[in-house]
Amino acid sequence: MDADLAFSAIRISTPLIFAAMGGLLTYQAGMLNIALDGFMIVAAFAAIAIAYATGSLTIAVAGGVACAVVMAGLLALFNLRFRAHIFIAGVAVTFLAYGLTALLLRGILGEEGVFSSNTIPNFPPIAIPFIKDIPVLGRVLSGHTLLVYVAYLCVPVVAWSLYRTRWGLRVRVVGEAEDAALAAGIRVERIKVQTMLLSGVFCGLAGAYLSLGYVSLFANKMTNERGLIALAAIFFAKGRPYPTALVALLFGTATALSVRLPQMTGAAPQLLQLIPYVVTVLALIVVGLRNARGRNRHGAWKFDVT
Amino acid sequence: MSETPLDVVSISGVVKRFGDFTAIHDASLTVRRGEVHAIVGENGAGKSTLMNILYGLLPRDAGTIELFGRPVTFSGPAEAIAAGVGMVHQHFKLAPSFTVADNIILGSEPLAGYGRIDRARAERDTAAISRRFGLDLDPRAVVGALPVGLRQRVEILKTLYREAQILILDEPTAVLTPQETRELFATMRTLAESGHSIVFITHKLREVLAVSNRISVMRQGRIVATLDNEGVTAQEIAGLMVGRSVLLRVKKAKAEARDEVLLKVDGLEARGERGEAAVDGLSFAVRSGEIVGLAGVQGNGQDELVECIAGLRRPVAGSVEICGTKAVADPRRNRAAGLAYVPADRGGVGLSLASGIWENLTVGHIEEFGRGPFLAIKAARARAAELIRRFDVRGATLDKPAGSLSGGNQQKVQIARELTRDARLVIAEQPSQGVDIGAIESIHRTLVEMRDAGRAVFVVSADLDEIFSLSDRILVIYRGRIVADLVASETDPETVGRYMGGLEEAPPAAAASVSEAADHVH
Amino acid sequence: MSTEALDAAPSFPLAGLVKPLVQPLVAVAIAVLVGGLLVLALGENPIEVYSILVHGSLVGWPNFLVTLQMMSPLLFTGLAVAISFRAGLWNIGAEGQMIMGALAAGIVGYAVDLPTALHIPLALIAAFAGGLAWALLPALLRVWLNLNELVVCLMLNPIALLLSGYVSTHLLKAPGPTNKLPDIADTAALPTFSLYSQVNAGFVIGLVLCLVFAVVNGGTKKGFEWKIMGLNPRFAYYGGIRVPLQAVLVMMLSGGIAGLGGAEQVLGEYRAFYDNFSPGYGFDGIAVAMLANFHPVGVVLAAFLFGALNGGSAVLQMMTGLSKYLVQVLQFIIVLILAAQFSWAFLGSRRKAPPAHAAPAAPKEE
C-alpha cells in the first residue's frame, strides 16, 4: 500500500470514526441509533450554509454540530418520551433530514442537488513537527486538516469516558442492566438522552467534515450511508471504542481502495464497497450462532419481539 | 444506647390501590433499631407491595410513613436510599459483566477528579465493609461468574455501602441452598447487633422462628398481628396467615379415578433459564377422572415441568405422554394430542392483551372455524359471545382488548377458551392467582366439572389452600423432584408443607411452610 | 345478555368507518401544518404551495395519470411493509427486495426470448423470486438464530444496491454511457395505458394485490394467525400457530411483493433496469404502511396520497422556488408522528397497550 493511499484512507475514515464514536455511545447505553446519517446530513448542510454566510469555519462547525444535536434531540424526544420504536423513528428522522436538507438547499442556497462556492474558506493542512520528517509515515500522518486529528483523538477520549469515569460506568450499566441502574437511583432516561445528544455532537462533526473538511461541497444524500457503515463497525466490534475505530478505519480503507483500485485495474468499485455490509452480516451470524447454542442448552422457546 | 427500643420505621394507616383492587388495607407497622422483623403472609398478601411503598418504588394512596421520627414521602428509590433504606430484591438488580466493586459503588461512586472513578478507593472500601460484616467477597470478581449466594452478598453490601440503617430483604432465601441460608442468617444477626434494622419478607415459618425478633403477619393486604418471637409456634402463625375465612372448599363428589392414564411423565429432566437442572428426573401420572395438585415452593421446577408438557421447552431427557401420544417440543402437536393448558402468565403466554376478546377466544380453535383457507368469522364471533355468557366474563364485549378486563375475567377468558377444546387433559397453572374470591369459586367449580366429565386435571399452584380445595391427589415438588405422592383426604397442609420445605432438613415439629408466598407474578 | 348487546353496535353507523381514519388524518394535518410553517419560513405562500401540489397531482387527466404512475411502486412497497409489520416482523428491507426483484425482472426481460403470454409472467415470477430471496435471509436468521431482522434488512439494503450496481455497470452493462442493463424485449413489457404517463399494468397488479391481501387479512386463517402473531408471538405459538413457519412465509410474501414493485418499474416504466433507479420507494413504503395502519385498503389510500404528493412535487419544483423534497419532509413527519404512542388515547384509539396496572390482580412487585 503506498503512502498516498494510506493518507487518503485516514482522511476517508475520518467521518466514519466520528459517526462510529457517536453511535457507540448510544449503543453502550442500550439504544441502536440508526439515524446517524440523518444527523450527519443536517450538520453537513448547516455547516456549509453557515460557512458560506459568515466565512467563519469555527461558527460553521459549531452551527453544524448544534443542528445535528437538535435532530438527536428530536429522536430522543420521540423514542424516550413518546415511546416510538427507535428503528422506525430513526428511519423517519433520517429521511426527514434528507428531505429537509434538499428542501433547504434549494430554498436557501437556490441550488439543485449540489452546492459549492469558492468563497468558502478551507481548513488548512497541519504539518506536524518531527513526524512530517519521518520518511513514509510523515506523508501518511502529517498534513491532514484539524478535524481529522480531532476525530482520532476522540477515540481515546471516548474510551476514557466510558471506562474510567462515573458517567461512563453509568452509561454502560444502563445499557446492560437497566433495572440495576434504576435500583441504584440512576436517572436512566437522562443518561440515554445525554448519549443521544452526544451522538448528535459526534455526527455533527462528521457532517461538518463531509461538507467542509476536504472539498467545500454539499450534495443531497452526500453521507452516502456512512452512518450505516459506522453502525456496521460498531456491531462488528460490539461497541468497544478502540476496536470500533479500527474496524471503521478498515472499512474506510476499503472505501479508499474502491476509489483508487478501479482507476488502476478497471475492477468494480461496488465489490469493495460491499465489504463493510457483508462482513457485518457474517459477524452477526457468528454471534447469532454462538447465542443460539446457549439458548438451545436450556431448550426454551424464544421469539421475542424487538 | 438506650434500653427502650427505638422505632426507626413507623408505618401507619397505609393504603394502596391498583384500579379497583385494594392491595394494602390500612397497614400499620413499626420496626425497631437493631431488630430482625419478619413479615410473613401468603401469596398475594401484600408483603412486597408494602415494602415497595416503603422503598419508594410505589406511591401510597393514604397513610403516613415515618423514618427516625420524621415523616417521609419518597418519590423514588434514590430518595429512600439517601434516607437510609436499602432493599435487596428477590431478583437481583446487578449488572452481570461488571465487577463486584463496580456494582457496589454504582450510583454513589467515589471520585478522583475530572469525573473519574477512584477505583482503588472503591476496591478498598468494598473490601473493608465486606470484612467488617463478615462477608467475604473479592472486589474484582465479575458478578456474572459468582454463585447466587455471593451475588446476594453483593446486593447486601450495596445497601451497606450506602450506609443503609434499614435493610429490606425480599424473600432472600428463596434462591439459596441450606448452607447459604445459614450464612445469610449469621449475617443478618451480625447486622442487627451492629444496630441495623432488618425487614425480612418470607413465607418459610421455620426461618422466621429461627432468625427474627418480631413477626408481623399479613393477610389479604392487612397486617393481622405483630408478635414477639417468644413462645410462638409455627401453627399459630400459620393460622393467622391463612385465616379460616379464606378457606374455600368446592363441594365435590369423591373422585372416580379410572385407570386410563392421560398424562404420563417419565424420568423427565429439563434445564432452567440459567442452564441449571430445574427438573431432575421426575416421574408421575395423572388418570382420567381425577384432579392432581402439584404443590411446591415457587422455583422448584414447576414452571419448567409445565413448559415441557405444553411443548414450550425441550426436555434434556425423559418423556411426556399426553393421552397416549408422545409429547414433543411443539405446542401445536401437544394440543392436538389432547392438551388444554391454562398458563399462569396470562399477559405473556395465555392471552394477547392487545387483541380483541373474540380473537383471544378463537386462537386454538382456528381449525374448527376453517372453511378451506378461510375463517368463518361470524361463527367464531357467535361462539365467543356464547362463551362470554356461559363463563360469565364481566365487562366483556367481543372487540374489547383482553387487557381491559380485570385479572379474574382475563382468567375466565383463558379458561373458556381452553376448557371448551376437545381435550382430555387439562393443566391449570396458578388458576386463582390474582383472581377475586367470587371468580375463584367459579373457576374451581369448572375444574371439578371437568374431572367429573372424565378428564384428567393437573393443577399447579403455589397456594396450598387451592391445592387442598381441588385435589384428589397431591404431589409435592422439591428441587425438581417429586418428593411426595399423597391422597388429599388422608393428609393435611402441615404435612404437605413439610415436604415442600424439603423433609430431610426440616425437623417435623417446627417446619410448616403453609404456602409459597412469592408475591411475584411472572 | 344477547349477542347483539355483546356486539355493541357503534352509536352511529359510520363510526366504525370513521374511527380508523382519525389517527392518520390527525398525523397528516400536523404534517401539513409543520410543512406550511417551513414553506412560510422559506418565503413562499403555504396556501399557494399546497394548492399547486393538489392541482399538479389531481386536476386534469395528465396530472392524475402521473399521480397513478407515482403511486404504483408505493402500492407494492407499502403492502410489503404493511403485511410484515402487521405480523410483527419489521421488514425495513423493502428497498433492497425491490431492487433485487427489479434486477431479476430486468435480466429475464432482455435475456429470454419468449412470446408475451409467457414472457411477462416469467419476468414477474423472477421479480417475485428475487425479492423473496432477499427477504428469506433475514427471515431465516430471525427464526433460526433470533437475529434482529431489522439490523439484517438494514445491511441488506445497501448490499442489494451495490450488487445490482455491479451487475448493471459491469457484468451485464448495456453498451453506451448509461449504467443500465439492455432494454427489455417488447414481449416482456407491461402495457401502458396513456401517452401522458407511464402508468401501466403494474398499477392494476398492485391494486389487485392490495385487494387480495385485504381478503387474506380479514377473512382467512392465515390472516388471523398473522395478526395474533404480530401482537403476541408467544401467545400465538402457545395457541398452536406455527410462528416460525408463518414468520418465514410472511417475510417471503413481503419480499416477493416488494420485488414485484421492482418489476413494475422495470417492465412498465423504464423498460430496462437502471442502476440506482429507486429514489427510496422501499422506505416510502414504510411511510405508506404506517399511514395505512397496516391495512391493505389503507395502503391504496395512503399510496394514492403519497403518489399525489410525489406527482405534484414535480410541478411544485417547476413553478416555485421550493424543492420537490418538501413532499419527503411531509411524509416522514407523518411517520414520526404515527410511530409515537403519545396520547392517542384521547382520540379513542386502541393503539396503546393497556397500562400495566389495568389488571388489578397483578401489582408488579419489582
Q: Please, which chains are in contact with C (at least 3 CB pairs closer than 8 A)? A: A, B
Which among C141, C170, C234 has CB closest to A285?
C141
The pLDDT assigned to B514 comes to: 34
Same domain flag for B108 and B188? yes
Q: Give φ, ψ of B15 to 5 degrees.
A: -125, 140
Better pLDDT: B440 or A240:
A240
Distance from CA of B395 to the nearest CA of C (A): 10
Q: What is the CATH number of the domain that holds B277?
A: 3.40.50.300
Q: Which residues of C touch B519 (CB under 8 A)?
A: 365
Query: Would residue B346 count as lying in a domain?
Result: no
User: What whole-number distance in Å separates Cα of residue A169 and Cα of residue B106?
Assistant: 8
The pLDDT assigned to C8 comes to: 40
The pLDDT assigned to C359 comes to: 29
- Which neighbouring-strand residues pair with B375? B370
Query: Would residue B49 count as lying in a domain?
Result: yes
Distance from CA of C132 to the nearest CA of A (A): 18
User: What whole-number distance in Å separates Cα of residue A169 and Cα of residue B39?
Assistant: 36
Looking at residue B202, its amino acid is T
Residue in chain B lying closest to A186 (CA): B107
Secondary structure tally for chain C: helices H, strands E: 14, 0
Are residues B106 and A180, on separate chains, in Cβ contact within 8 Å?
Answer: yes
- For chain B, say whether A302 makes contact (Cβ under 8 Å): no
Query: Would residue B2 count as lying in a domain?
Result: no
Same domain flag for B95 and B227? yes
Q: Which residues of B touch A180 (CB under 8 A)?
A: 93-95, 103, 106
Sign of the Cα pseudo-torsion (C74, C77, C79, C85, in order): negative
Note the pLDDT tens digit of each residue in B422-437: 899 999 998 887 676 6
Looking at residue A68, its amino acid is A
Q: Is the distance from CB of C223 to CB of C217 less than 8 angstroms?
A: yes
Query: Would residue B405 count as lying in a domain?
Result: yes
pLDDT at B247 over 60: no
Residue in chain A lying closest to B89 (CA): A183
Residue in chain A lying closest to B93 (CA): A180
Same domain flag for B386 and B503? no
Residue in chain B lying closest to C237 (CA): B331
- For chain B, say whether C11 makes contact (Cβ under 8 Å): no
DSSP reduced 3-state for A114: strand
Same domain flag for B271 and B293? yes
End-to-end alpha-carbon separation of chain B, Å? 44
Are residues B77 and A182, on separate chains, in Cβ contact within 8 Å?
Answer: yes
Q: Identify the domain containing residue B428 by its residue range.
A: 249-338+423-522
DSSP per position, B102-121: HHHHTTS--B-STTBB-HHH
Which grid coordinates are listed for A269? 468499485
Residue in chain C lying closest to A275 (CA): C159
The pLDDT assigned to B471 comes to: 92
Which among B108, B117, B270 has CB closest to A299?
B270
pLDDT at B239 over 80: no
Are residues C7 and B341, on separate chains, in Cβ contact within 8 Å?
Answer: no
Are residues A167 and B115, on separate chains, in Cβ contact within 8 Å?
Answer: yes
Are residues B374 and C227, on separate chains, in Cβ contact within 8 Å?
Answer: no
Which C residues in the span 168-227 are in contact with B, Cβ-Cβ below 8 Å?
A: 219-225, 227
Share of chain B above pLDDT 70, in %: 90
Which B residues in the span 289-348 are in contact with A, Cβ-Cβ below 8 Å?
A: 307, 312-316, 329
User: What whole-number distance in Å separates Cα of residue B154 and Cα of residue B159?
Assistant: 9
Same domain flag for B411 and B274? no
- Which neighbouring-strand residues pair with C245? none
Q: Which residues of A touch C42 (CB under 8 A)?
A: 103-104, 107-108
User: What whole-number distance in Å separates Cα of residue A58 and Cα of residue A147?
Assistant: 11
Q: What is the mean pLDDT of chain B?
A: 85
pLDDT at B255 over 70: no
Counting as low any pLDDT under 70, the low residues of chain C are 1-17, 342-366
Which A residues in the span 222-251 are in contact with C, Cβ-Cβ below 8 Å?
A: 225, 228, 231-232, 235
| ipTM over cut 0.85 | yes
Closest CA to C88 of B123, B354, A98: B354
Note the pLDDT tens digit of each residue in B19-29: 767 888 899 99
Residue in chain B lying closest to C362 (CA): B434
Note the pLDDT tens digit of each residue in B114-171: 889 999 999 999 999 988 888 888 999 999 888 888 899 999 999 999 999 999 998 8
The pLDDT assigned to B392 comes to: 86
Are residues A93 and C290, on separate chains, in Cβ contact within 8 Å?
Answer: no
The pLDDT assigned to B43 comes to: 65
- For chain A, say whether C353 makes contact (Cβ under 8 Å): no
- For chain A, say whether B86 makes contact (Cβ under 8 Å): no
Which among B349, B433, B436 has CB closest to C235?
B349
- For chain B, say whether A186 makes contact (Cβ under 8 Å): yes
Same domain flag for B277 and B150? no
Stretch B481-497: mean pLDDT, rounded? 86
| Structural domains of chain C, ranges and CATH numbers in brackets | 21-347 (1.10.3470)
Q: Is the distance from CB of B315 to CB of B330 less than 8 angstroms?
A: no
- For chain A, say whether C193 makes contact (Cβ under 8 Å): no
User: What whole-number distance in Å separates Cα of residue B172 and Cα of residue B200?
Assistant: 8
Are residues A93 and C326, on separate chains, in Cβ contact within 8 Å?
Answer: no
pLDDT at A13 over 70: yes
Residue in chain A lying closest to C148 (CA): A306
User: What whole-number distance in Å separates Cα of residue B431 and Cα of residue B413?
Assistant: 12
Note the pLDDT tens digit of each residue in B285-310: 999 999 999 988 777 888 899 999 99
Query: Would residue B349 count as lying in a domain?
Result: no
- For chain A, say whether C333 makes contact (Cβ under 8 Å): yes
User: What whole-number distance in Å separates Cα of residue C324 and Cα of residue C53?
Assistant: 10
Which C residues in the span 50-89 are in contact with A, Cβ-Cβ below 8 Å?
A: 88
pLDDT at B337 over 80: yes
User: What whole-number distance in Å separates Cα of residue C298 and Cα of residue C321?
Assistant: 33
DSSP letter at B457 equals E
Better pLDDT: A142 or C6:
A142
Which grid coordinates are listed for B66? 415515618
Same domain flag for B166 and B300? no
Are residues B106 and A298, on separate chains, in Cβ contact within 8 Å?
Answer: no
Which among B349, B370, B377 has CB closest to C234?
B349
The pLDDT assigned to A258 comes to: 83
Distance from CA of A185 to the nearest CA of B (A): 4
Are residues C366 and B52, on separate chains, in Cβ contact within 8 Å?
Answer: yes
DSSP per position, C199-228: -BHHHHHHHHHHHHHHHHHHHBHHHHHHHH
Note the pLDDT tens digit of each residue in C102-111: 999 999 999 9
Distance from CA of A38 to the nearest CA of C (A): 12
pTM of the model: 0.86
Q: Which residues of A touch C321 (CB under 8 A)?
A: 106-107, 110
The pLDDT assigned to C3 comes to: 40
Better pLDDT: A301 or B299:
B299
Query: Would residue B229 count as lying in a domain?
Result: yes
Distance from CA of A268 to the nearest CA of B (A): 44
Same domain flag for B388 and B429? no
Q: What is the mean pLDDT of chain C?
A: 87
Which among A167, A183, A296 has CB closest to B77?
A183
Which among C247, C333, C339 has CB closest to A85?
C339
- For chain B, say whether A297 makes contact (Cβ under 8 Å): yes
Query: Would residue B1 count as lying in a domain?
Result: no
User: What whole-number distance in Å separates Cα of residue B162 and Cα of residue C118?
Assistant: 78
Task: Count the domains in chain B.
Answer: 3
Task: Among A141-145, B234-238, B411-415, C94-98, name the one with the lowest average pLDDT.
Answer: B234-238
pLDDT at B252 over 80: no
Closest CA to B60 of B93, B20, B11: B11
The pLDDT assigned to C345 comes to: 43
Same domain flag for B142 and B259? no
User: What whole-number distance in Å separates Cα of residue B186 and Cα of residue A210?
Assistant: 64
Are residues C361 and B408, on separate chains, in Cβ contact within 8 Å?
Answer: yes
Burial class (CB in 10 A: 0-12, 13-18, 19+), B441: middle
Q: Which residues of C touch A284 (CB under 8 A)?
A: 141, 147, 151-152, 155
Q: Give φ, ψ of B430 to 5 degrees.
A: 45, 55
Query: Would residue B281 count as lying in a domain?
Result: yes
Distance from CA of A162 to the nearest CA of C (A): 25
Share of chain A above pLDDT 90, in %: 61
Distance from CA of B316 to the nearest CA of A (A): 8
Determine which of B360, B363, B405, B440 to mutate to test the interface with C (most C C-beta atoms within 10 Å): B363
- For chain A, say whether C118 makes contact (Cβ under 8 Å): no
Domain boundaries, chain A: 3-227
pLDDT at B522 over 80: no
Q: Which residues of B touch C7 (CB under 8 A)?
A: 381, 385, 397-398
